[in-house]
């Protein structure tokens, strides 16, 4: 029996292990051989310290190659990797540690890997089956306590193989990696594609214009959240020539504004490839590598993913079933039962629709749905109308308690304009119940580290706008 995920990933490493894996900002590199040896030593140390298969190993640290040595070492030892957002406070971390009960908690991976050097690298990975747990990812829940999504070796292996094929990775690729590695996007989506193809990564601790622009000189693939692309577009040094060596720019974790998609194509001649995923299933749909990428659509379900729209209408909550869909929430059987249908589909909480040919469009989270005067208002529909108006850069539409309608539509707008003019133009294009009753102007929208607009914060902030 093999170790399902570790052996799969290591099987992608280049035969010549001296080839680079991490290309660092100071011009140095860490080879695949170094990564393999580091992971092997971490695995040996974990086992020597008594870590058993299935034990959790938590890590909270800034991004570094050593974090990945720890991640792979944990997998190799048969344990379960639990990454924690480096921005979490001590009180937040206490909750995760109490909930997950890890055997080891690592906060200084560089020292941890260094001190593991006294151990000979573990040769053979501890056997694990497809259904065994590989990682526990706490969702960035905005209501209630965050939940630990249990991802198995089989879940992660299936998704890694599907993405590697869908996006056409080869050993000749160079992946620009500027994402955090405590989240599925940077840790699984990006990293696994690179490891499976044995290609190097330009390894940036975080997104900075200068480093990303420099990296684009040699990168062939870039993965990012939408804010990476808006930041690039805001920089005049980001030119068609600068983007020319990149064969695909991939975006996800939050909706890509159609205006960003269009402006990016105008600037570079390339269309951003948007995909859709979540901690509970890694990647679910993707626009095609060869084939039409359309602004505002997240593309087609990956091979093996069954996707349907619940509720019997054209637009409803997306449900999914397939090899990468997680097994449930850690120690929350009731919550898990609530979020799966009787026939085993996971209820994603994202509202969307699907064209007859399978193409998927997302209109937002179910919990962001506004019910005004008994009618459903999908914020995205209103945002798309407002975003087209002169002077508007971006909008976020929310519901606020309203004495007559239950909720009233409020548009929070980045840009310049006139409240009455925006309302009048929106009314021209939309039914009265969808038309914002208030428009407020802001300099910026609150976002989390993955670039998602935090509508829960906006709802709190504007809860009183219709107070009488």
- Interacting residues with ligand AMP (CB under 6 A): 139-140, 184, 252-255, 274, 276-279, 298, 348, 350, 362, 365, 450
Nearer to ligand AMP, 139 or 220 (CB): 139
Render 442-467 in DSSP notation, one character per residue. ES---B-TT--B-HHHHHHHTTTTT-
Nearer to ligand AMP, 214 or 317 (CB): 317
- Residue 58 CB, shortest distance to ligand AMP, in Å, is 18
Cα 236 to Cα 145: distance, rounded to the nearest angstrom: 42
- DSSP code of 103? S
Nearer to ligand AMP, 110 or 140 (CB): 140
- Residue 362 CB, shortest distance to ligand AMP, in Å, is 4
- Residue 49 CB, shortest distance to ligand AMP, in Å, is 31
- Residue 277 CB, shortest distance to ligand AMP, in Å, is 6
Nearer to ligand AMP, 76 or 183 (CB): 183
| The two structure tokens encoding residue 156 | 């992660």
Q: Are 456 and 143 in contact (CB under 8 A)?
A: yes
Write down the number of H helices and E strands in the chain: 16, 23
Nearer to ligand AMP, 20 or 277 (CB): 277
- Residue 78 CB, shortest distance to ligand AMP, in Å, is 25
Cα 398 to Cα 377: distance, rounded to the nearest angstrom: 9
- Residue 255 CB, shortest distance to ligand AMP, in Å, is 4
Query: ∠ CA(34), CA(128), CA(198), 5° rounding?
Result: 35
| Cα R_g (the chain), whole angstroms | 23
Nearer to ligand AMP, 274 or 425 (CB): 274
Nearer to ligand AMP, 160 or 362 (CB): 362
> What angle, 0 to 180 degrees and rounded to 10, lies between the N-to-C axes of helices 65-76 and 32-48?
50
Nearer to ligand AMP, 20 or 364 (CB): 364
Nearer to ligand AMP, 271 or 365 (CB): 365
Beta bridge partners of 306: 321
- Residue 188 CB, shortest distance to ligand AMP, in Å, is 10
Cα 305 to Cα 387: distance, rounded to the nearest angstrom: 32
- Residue 187 CB, shortest distance to ligand AMP, in Å, is 11
**Sign of the C-alpha dihedral, residues 429, 431, 433, 434?**
negative
- DSSP code of 178? -
Cα 225 to Cα 165: distance, rounded to the nearest angstrom: 21
- CB-neighbour burial class of residue 280 (10 A; exposed 0-12, middle 13-18, buried 19+): buried
Cα 178 to Cα 207: distance, rounded to the nearest angstrom: 5
- Residue 348 CB, shortest distance to ligand AMP, in Å, is 6
- Residue 293 CB, shortest distance to ligand AMP, in Å, is 12
In Å, how far are 275, 330, 404 from 284, measured between CA atoms?
8, 21, 40
- Residue position matching structure tokens 């749905």: 369
Strand, coil or helix: what is 352? strand
Closest CA to 9 of 224, 172, 153, 166: 153
Nearer to ligand AMP, 254 or 465 (CB): 254
Closest CA to 117 of 61, 66, 60: 66
């Amino acid at each position: 029996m093999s170790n399902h995920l570790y052996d799969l990933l290591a099987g992608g490493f280049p035969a010549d292990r001296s080839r680079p894996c991490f290309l660092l900002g100071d011009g140095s590199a860490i080879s695949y051989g170094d990564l393999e040896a580091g992971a092997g030593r971490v695995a040996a140390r974990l086992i020597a310290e008594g870590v058993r298969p299935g034990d959790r190993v938590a890590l909270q640290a800034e991004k570094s190659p050593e974090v990945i040595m720890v991640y792979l070492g944990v997998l190799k030892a048969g344990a379960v990797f639990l990454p924690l957002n480096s921005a979490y406070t001590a009180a937040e971390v206490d909750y995760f540690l109490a909930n997950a009960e890890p055997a080891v908690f690592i906060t200084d991976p560089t020292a941890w890997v260094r001190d593991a050097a006294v151990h000979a690298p573990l040769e053979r990975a501890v056997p694990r089956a497809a259904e065994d747990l590989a990682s526990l990812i706490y969702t960035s829940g905005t209501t209630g306590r965050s939940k630990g999504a249990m991802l198995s070796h089989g879940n992660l292996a299936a998704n890694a193989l599907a993405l590697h094929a869908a996006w056409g990775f080869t050993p000749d690729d160079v992946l620009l990696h500027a994402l955090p590695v405590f989240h599925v996007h940077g840790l699984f989506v990006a990293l696994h594609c690179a490891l499976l193809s044995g290609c190097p990564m330009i390894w940036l601790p975080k997104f900075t214009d200068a480093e990303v622009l420099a990296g684009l000189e040699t990168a062939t693939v870039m993965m990012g959240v939408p804010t990476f692309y808006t930041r690039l577009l805001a920089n005049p040094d980001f030119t068609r020539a600068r983007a020319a060596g990149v064969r695909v720019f991939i975006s996800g974790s939050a909706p890509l504004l159609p205006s960003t998609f269009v402006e990016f194509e105008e600037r570079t001649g390339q269309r951003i490839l948007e995909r859709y995923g979540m901690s509970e299933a890694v990647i679910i749909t993707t626009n095609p590598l060869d084939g039409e990428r359309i602004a505002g659509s997240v593309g087609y379900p990956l091979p093996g993913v069954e996707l349907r729209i619940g509720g019997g209408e054209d637009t409803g909550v997306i449900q999914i079933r397939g090899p990468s869909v997680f097994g449930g929430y850690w120690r929350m059987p009731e919550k898990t039962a609530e979020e799966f249908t009787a026939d085993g589909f996971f209820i994603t909480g994202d509202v969307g629709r699907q064209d007859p040919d399978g193409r998927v469009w997302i209109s937002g989270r179910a919990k962001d749905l506004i019910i005004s005067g008994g009618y459903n208002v999908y914020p995205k529909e209103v945002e798309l109308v407002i975003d087209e108006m002169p002077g508007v850069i971006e909008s976020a539409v929310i519901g606020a308690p309203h004495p007559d309608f239950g909720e009233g539509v409020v548009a929070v707008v980045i840009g310049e304009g006139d409240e009455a003019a925006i309302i009048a133009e929106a009314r021209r294009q939309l039914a009265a119940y969808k038309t914002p009753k208030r428009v407020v102007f802001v300099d910026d929208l609150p976002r989390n580290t993955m670039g998602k607009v935090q509508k829960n914060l906006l709802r709190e902030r504007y809860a009183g706008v219709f107070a009488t």
